[in-house]
């Protein structure tokens, strides 16, 4: 159950606009991000909204990546969770997250990190870090 859960909002994305508009391109981006981090995709589901954005999720052997886009706002949200069952996968989570950021190129990010199941923390109040960054 130990792991890193990254919840992020990407605003003012300057990357290829089609990534926010096309479910197939978004799915390919998510698969590339996970593959580059050494994460194993075991299932995928992506949905194209008519004349709008897309939503999708990858089920990972390590947990999941979910993403939703709003092309009219130049925005996306990301939910990436990796478990540390057999090894510490925090670095892999950061690599996948970095790959998404590199392609979407958000001008502003609001990120919340939840450290799950850490024995060093009081489980009544899980670890939560909130950061905001503007490019």
Catalytic residues: 63, 68, 83
Rounded CA separation 63/123 (Å): 20
33, 25 in Cβ contact below 8 A?
Answer: no
Rounded CA separation 100/66 (Å): 12
18, 25 in Cβ contact below 8 A?
Answer: yes
15 contact partners, CB below 8 Å, separation of at least 6? 103, 104, 105
**Which H/E stretch holds residue 129?**
strand 127-134
* DSSP label of 49: P
């Amino acid at each position: 159950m130990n792991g890193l859960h990254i919840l992020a909002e990407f605003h003012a994305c300057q990357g290829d606009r089609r990534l926010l508009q096309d479910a197939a391109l978004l799915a390919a981006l998510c698969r590339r991000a996970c593959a580059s981090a050494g994460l194993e995709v075991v299932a995928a589901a992506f949905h194209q909204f008519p004349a709008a954005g897309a939503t999708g999720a990858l089920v990972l052997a390590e947990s999941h990546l979910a993403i939703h886009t709003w092309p009219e706002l130049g925005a996306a949200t990301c939910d990436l969770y990796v478990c540390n069952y057999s090894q510490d996968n925090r670095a892999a989570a950061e690599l996948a997250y970095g790959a998404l950021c590199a392609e979407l190129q958000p001008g502003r990010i609001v990120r919340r990190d939840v450290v799950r199941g850490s024995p060093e923390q009081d489980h009544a109040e899980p670890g939560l870090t909130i950061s905001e960054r503007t490019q």
